[in-house]
Amino acid sequence: MSNIPFKFKYDIVSLVYLADINFLTCEKIYREVINTDKNHDYYRFLLLSANNSFYEAVSIIHTLLCSKKDEEVRIKPALEEAIKQQEGLILKDNSEKYNEFIRRIEIDYPNPDFYSYDFLGPLESRGDIMAQYRVIKTTEEGLVDFNVIKDKFEKYHFHKIRHQLAAHKNKHLDDPAGASQLLLKDELIKNLGEIVKAVKIHSHFWFGYTLDNPNYPVLIALSKMINKSDKLL
């Protein structure tokens, strides 16, 4: 059993993957390049790339969580449809096993090894059990989980960052274009990581897609570029 598909399911998850790879690109550049105190034109280029990736991730998540426009891809209406179609189909019969499943995915993110989840019982029946737990997580807790993530996104002021810095919509800023070249605070990157992780994990529950991001080869290519450039400098 899997979550019943609906019109924008793939659009939502593909955007979650895009936000994820943008965040990971930003995080990797800051960790391996920007925070190493090197100061070459190459690193200034990567600073611009990292910041643009950060703002792109913020913009995507902002639309998915906060948009009220029907023409935009949003999580909430799709989640409400999933709940409507599946509500009452499956009831929680073992809270301890269910809670352990949710807990383990949080701990093992981004690469849970479902084959090691022996607490779910025989391997041949594990897929069905996990699918059932995803339905339960969606129908019984989905909207509450969504609102928690949305509230955290706004508590961290990412909605304002998106509006004023990423979209450059405030003409009263001293330097509207300057934000693209300023160093991001470590706390901002950490907080965005929390939001992206939460959206990605819960999209796995709500929409039944893998946590593995098909865009991960981008990070491999980025590593090769960084290593090659280091040798040339």
Q: For 61-119, write each residue's pLDDT tens digit.
A: 999 999 999 889 999 999 999 999 888 888 778 899 999 999 999 999 988 999 999 99
Query: For position 171, what pLDDT does the model report?
Result: 60
Query: For position 3, what pLDDT does the model report?
Result: 46
Query: For position 4, what pLDDT does the model report?
Result: 44
Q: Between residues 7 and 44, which one has the greater pLDDT?
A: 44
Query: For position 167, what pLDDT does the model report?
Result: 47
Q: Give residue-wise pLDDT tens across range 40-66.
A: 677 888 998 999 999 999 999 999 999
Of the candidates 189, 161, 153, the residue with the CA atom closest to the CA atom of residue 23:
189
Q: Give residue-wise pLDDT tens across range 143-176.
A: 999 999 999 999 998 977 865 654 455 565 566 6
Is the whole model's pTM more than 0.75, yes or no?
yes
Q: Give residue-wise pLDDT tens across range 176-218.
A: 666 667 788 999 999 999 999 999 999 999 998 889 999 999 9
Q: Which residues of 43-64 are buried (b: 16+ CB within 10 A; e: fewer)?
A: beebbeebbebbbbbbbbbbbb
